[in-house]
Amino acid sequence: MTSAVPSYSMTEQMVCATSRLIRDGEVVYVGVGMPVISALLAKRTHAPDCTIVLETGIVRTAAFPLPALLDTLTTQAGADVLSSAGYVNALAQRGRIDLGIIGAGQVDRFGNVNSTVVGPYDAPTLRWPGAGGACEIASLCGRFIVAVNQKRQRFPARVEFLSAPGYLDGGRPARDAAGLRPGTGPANVITDLATYAFPAGVMQLASAHAGVPLARISEETAWAVVDPARSYPTTAAPTEEELRVLRNDVDPNGIVLRPIRQRDRGPVEKAPTI
């Protein structure tokens, strides 16, 4: 007899799905929020030997308390290196950073990211805070992941402003022609509905989260991301151990999880059948 799998939020599903893509021993470049919490979960579970690089210039091989902001006493204390954004971007340019994780305002079918404006730049209908270090992460890291809640407006066929490059017009040749580091580019997009990959330089659905119908994924995407002739796997649910570590060790004060949970579509009550 197996024990019941505890309920979990779609935010927790996103964190766990993103965390699992971090390989042990990798150097991971992250920003605030979903990227850093995913890296810390990996560090405390399946990837204890990963190195976490914060976009403020802090390099750490040891875990640390989840910060509300990245450049704090808790992120600095015990760090291996206290440097600058220029230093860690230079590491990425030299091929020393394996993976970057970023958020987005919009992401299109080629993995291009917009975190700047919707509408005309000088008179936008929406202005986000800006790319921050996303352009450097997307341009220089070995591969990168985008973690973002999925709405149709956030998943246009083409982004309205290019804040960080994916496969540009599609495929590695487009990145190479633009002078970006060869072999780099988007690897995955993780949302509150599904996971995606780029097997040919174009975003394709990889798995749907438990309880999310394919029709919902289609509705929230501005291009045909679901092939009706295919069947898709269900994203592996967070394990009891992942949830325990995430809630009790990584984010016990709800710095990231609690505010986002309030916007979730509700918990999944049982694990899917894979």
For residues 30 and 28, what is the distance between their CA atoms, to the nearest angstrom?
Answer: 6
Closest CA to 57 of 32, 85, 35: 85
* Strands (DSSP E) found in 34-185: 51-54, 58-60, 81-82, 99-102, 106-107, 113-114, 117-118, 126-127, 143-147
DSSP letter (8 states) at residue 249 = I
Q: Whats the size of the chain, residue-wise?
A: 274
For residues 5 and 8, what is the distance between their CA atoms, to the nearest angstrom?
Answer: 9
For residues 61 and 56, what is the distance between their CA atoms, to the nearest angstrom?
Answer: 16
CB 205 within 8 A of CB 232: yes
First-to-last CA distance in the chain? 18
Considering the candidates 12, 26, 55, 220, report the single residue annotated as catalytic: 55
* Pairing relationship of beta strands 126-127 and 117-118 according to DSSP bridges: antiparallel
Is residue 160 part of the annotated active site? The answer reads no
Enumerate the active-site residues.
Answer: 55
